[in-house]
């Protein structure tokens, strides 16, 4: 089984721009979650989607948004980028049966 695939692996953006990150979950997994990982704040939950519906949302500003498509693939978007948005963004998928999430390698976003 292919793992969770995130694209792109690296991104450099300028303050004020927007960015879209993509995540392809493991085949058959319908739950997709996104996390932000930084040295200062650690791993923080952004949002979780199941069958195209956002079920849970973390404490992030409205500039952070996401969506899930009918094939379970997910995207997250960050608008009006700030320097503090520089982080590793992780996507994870779950089959909601065996519990526990499988993580992708992440997209490292650098805002300059």
35 near other proteins (CB under 8 A): yes
Measure the CA–CA gap between 69 and 94, rounded to whole angstroms.
16
Q: Where are the beta strands (DSSP E) in the chain?
A: 5-7, 10-13, 19-24, 31-38, 42-50, 53-57, 64-68, 74-78, 87-94, 102-103, 107-111
76 near other proteins (CB under 8 A): no
34 near other proteins (CB under 8 A): no
Could you give the C-alpha distances from 94 to 38, 48, 82, 102, in angstroms and in order?
23, 10, 30, 6
5 near other proteins (CB under 8 A): no
51 near other proteins (CB under 8 A): no
Interacting span for other proteins (CB under 8 A) from 9-17, 22-30, 72-80, 97-105: 97-105
22 near other proteins (CB under 8 A): no
12 near other proteins (CB under 8 A): no
SS3 61: coil
- Positions in the binding site for other proteins (CB under 8 A): 3, 31, 33, 35, 42-45, 48, 50, 55-56, 58, 90, 92, 99-106
């Amino acid at each position: 089984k292919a793992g969770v695939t995130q694209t792109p692996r690296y991104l450099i953006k300028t303050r004020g721009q927007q960015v879209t990150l993509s995540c392809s979950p493991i085949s058959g997994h319908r739950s997709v979650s996104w996390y932000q990982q930084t040295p200062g704040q650690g791993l923080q939950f952004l949002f979780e989607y199941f069958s195209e519906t956002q079920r849970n949302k973390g404490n992030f500003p409205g500039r952070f948004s996401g969506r899930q498509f009918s094939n379970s693939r997910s995207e997250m978007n960050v608008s009006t980028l700030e320097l503090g948005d520089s982080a590793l963004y992780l996507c994870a998928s779950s089959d909601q049966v065996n519990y526990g999430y499988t993580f992708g390698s992440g997209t490292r976003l650098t805002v300059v």
